[in-house]
Each structure stands twice: as structure tokens, then as C-alpha cells.
Amino acid sequence: MRAVVQRVEEAKLWADGQFIAEIGQGLAVYVGFGPEDDETAMRYILEKVRHLRIFEDENGKLNLSVEDTKGEVLWIPNFTLYGDCRHGRRPGYSAGAPVEAARAMFAQFCDLVSQETENGRFGIFQANMRIHQSCCGPVTLLLDSQKAF
């Protein structure tokens, strides 16, 4: 499982022209799934995101997590995180999970997030989404459950 984590002042999401969700201060997290991902991979990403110390404390140091700041998290499915651009000009997506498997994984992940936290909002799998976010910092981090980077 992969994730791109961005610290935001706010984020709003529309799917297929319908307003779906918004958050205030917190994180916009784009998630993608590989064919071998399971609950262990999902828990790794969830716990890493929840506890990353990327918010400033009273001394201006990046020492607080989204949990510490009572921030919100917008989880956005994004299959392009498994895009391979090493050959040619058109990314290949064969390293990602097949569509129906990824759909089930995202649903499972949403259930896990909802069980573990109260601050999550979700995009819609395979929808045409528009995301407006105000990045803060900017702080952008890449996570991979296989620790490839």
C-alpha cells in the first residue's frame, strides 16, 4: 500500500460533480493499493499517518501528530500511486491491484479507519474527483507499506 501525505489548512472534495467531504486543519492522504496488500499493510499506513509528527508545537518544532492536534484526515483513493514512468511516456499501472480487488481493499481500509479513529473523511473509489486543498508548509511525504522508499 502506498500513500502521499500532505499537511493542509483545509481540503474539499467533489466526486462526479457532487460535494462529498471537507476537512479543516489536518491531512489529505492519497492511498493506492498493490495486489498483495492486506490488513497488515493497511494498519501500517494508518498508524504511520496518525502518528507522523509533522505539526508544529508551541516552540515551532514539527513535534505533533494529527492526533495530537485533533486534526482531520481526508483519505482519497488514487490508483496512479502505482504508476510506473520508467519506460516511455505513458505510465503503466500493472503494479497496482486490479480494480475490483482495489475497490474491496479501499472499502476494508475505510472500515478500519472508521473503527480506529473519529477524524476520517473519504473520497469515492473510481469516481472522477476534484480536490481543492490548501497545503501548509508545504509538508508532503511518501509512505509505502513495503518500505520501498
Q: Are the CB atoms for 10 and 22 separated by under 8 Å?
A: yes
Q: Measured on CA atoms in the order 38, 66, 78, 2, is the torsion positive or negative?
A: negative
Domain boundaries, the chain: 2-135
Q: Are the CB atoms for 55 and 68 separated by under 8 Å?
A: yes
* pLDDT on residue 149: 85
Q: b or e along 12-21 (b: 16 or more beta carbons within 10 Å of the residue's beta carbon)? A: bbbbeeeebb
Number of H helices, E strands in the chain: 2, 8
Q: What is the tens place of the pLDDT at every residue in 110-119?
A: 999 999 999 9
Q: What is the tens place of the pLDDT at every residue in 39-86?
A: 999 999 999 999 999 999 999 999 999 999 999 999 999 999 999 999
Q: Kindly indicate whether the domain formed by 2-135 is annotated with CATH number 3.40.50.970.
A: no
